[in-house]
Chain A
Amino acid sequence: MRSLMCYTNPGSSLLPSSGLGDRPWIRFGSDIDRWFETALSGLAAPVFDNRFAVDVYEDKDNTYVRAELPGVARDDIKVEIVDGYLSISANRKTLNGENKAEGSLSVSRSISVPENVQADKVAAAYENGVLTVTLPKQEEAKPKTIQVSVK
């Protein structure tokens, strides 16, 4: 559990902290909880810095790449296939509440994709903050019968 509020030192309060009496450590427990929360919070949350979570799936016709990209406008997502790599880059606009200044955060990632992808038929969809890229597989070259006429 974490507080919405910034931590204020109880000792710095305007009012004398009464009731503590001869048990000065009564607040100690919640302090320790808070330190652990703060120290470990970075481990628990997925970090949206330059690596967003990516999943790869496959069925018999397609390879699918799902990327978690919350809060990105569709126009700010770029999906490219270069040299056997699928590159996803996104630009997330952030609104600063106080001065309404607009910031942005760019993230990008490249994933190696199978060689038999039809690069011109790649499709992408974005829903609920998750981008799904569908990469159709190349149809296997069909065996051809060559008739050789023997003279």
Chain B
Amino acid sequence: MSLIQNRVPTFTRTPVDRGVQDRPSPEPTVRPRHEVKETEEAWGLQVDLPGVAIDGLEFTAEEGHVTIRGNRGWKVPPGWTMLYRESADSPYELVLQHDHSVDVDKIHAELKDGVLSVSLPKAEATKPRRITVT
């Protein structure tokens, strides 16, 4: 058994190794629909966050990952009865890893009509460089 454990560490790893404890919140969250695009200059990220106002949005860039959390600001007004429901109440949460190739200081984010557009410029060191051959 110890031989297997030595060869295949996956069998014995704890949730901590899988980064599960990194989750900032124990409450259930919804992963929003999102799209990642890449150009030579930057990564472009577009996240659908319907129902999230600017004061309900939390956007943090930490070591190696960016975290987007959105709380829906709307509450059911008193007197309203729910007849049919498809949307969820739980906040949105999206964690994306990167390999430090993002210039964290130049991140630009904009929230409009429930869509968050983020531009994550690439760090100078990771941009493609043309090497002149002599």
For B96, give its contact among A3, A41, A48, A126 (CB under 8 Å).
A3
Measured between alpha carbons, how far is A54 from B36 in the docked complex, in Å? 26
Contacts of A63 in B (CB 8 A): 83
A26 engages B73 (CB within 8 Å): no
A71 engages B8 (CB within 8 Å): no
Tell me if B99 is interfacial: C-beta within 8 Å of chain A: yes
Measured between alpha carbons, how far is A33 from B18 in the docked complex, in Å? 8
A114 (CB) vs chain B CBs: closest residue: B83
**Interface range on chain A (Cβ under 8 Å from partner):** 35 or more
B32 engages A2 (CB within 8 Å): no
Also in contact, A56 and B51, with CB within 8 A (given A4-B98, A72-B113): no
Q: Give, as a whole number of angstroms, the nearest-CB distance from B110 to chain A.
A: 12
B33 engages A98 (CB within 8 Å): no
Contacts of B19 in A (CB 8 A): 1
For A57, give its contact among B43, B82, B114 (CB under 8 Å).
B82
A5 engages B98 (CB within 8 Å): yes
B65 engages A45 (CB within 8 Å): no
Q: Give, as a whole number of angstroms, the nearest-CB distance from A65 to chain B.
A: 9
Measured between alpha carbons, how far is A73 from B44 in the docked complex, in Å? 21
Also in contact, A29 and B76, with CB within 8 A (given A53-B87, A129-B113): no
Q: 1/0 contact trace for A37-48 toward B, CB 8 Å?
A: 000010011111
Contacts of B112 in A (CB 8 A): 71
Q: Tell me how many residues of B have a C-beta within 8 Å of chain A.
A: 54
Interface residues of A in 48-92 (CB under 8 A from B): 48, 53-60, 63-64, 66, 68-73
Tell me if A23 is interfacial: C-beta within 8 Å of chain B: yes
Q: Give, as a whole number of angstroms, the nearest-CB distance from A100 to chain B.
A: 11
B43 engages A4 (CB within 8 Å): yes
Measured between alpha carbons, how far is A68 from B48 in the docked complex, in Å? 10
Also in contact, A29 and B95, with CB within 8 A (given A55-B86, A55-B87, A97-B44): no
B48 engages A71 (CB within 8 Å): yes
Also in contact, A129 and B6, with CB within 8 A (given A4-B43, A58-B83, A70-B113): no
A68 engages B76 (CB within 8 Å): no
B10 engages A25 (CB within 8 Å): yes
Interface residues of A in 6-28 (CB under 8 A from B): 22-23, 25-26, 28
Measuring CB to CB, which residues of chain A are less than 8 angstroms from any residue of chain B? 1-5, 22-23, 25-26, 28-29, 32-33, 41, 44-48, 53-60, 63-64, 66, 68-73, 97-98, 126, 128-130
13 chain-A/chain-B pairs, Cβ below 8 angstroms: A4-B43, A4-B97, A5-B98, A5-B99, A23-B7, A25-B9, A29-B9, A29-B17, A46-B33, A56-B82, A71-B112, A97-B37, A129-B52
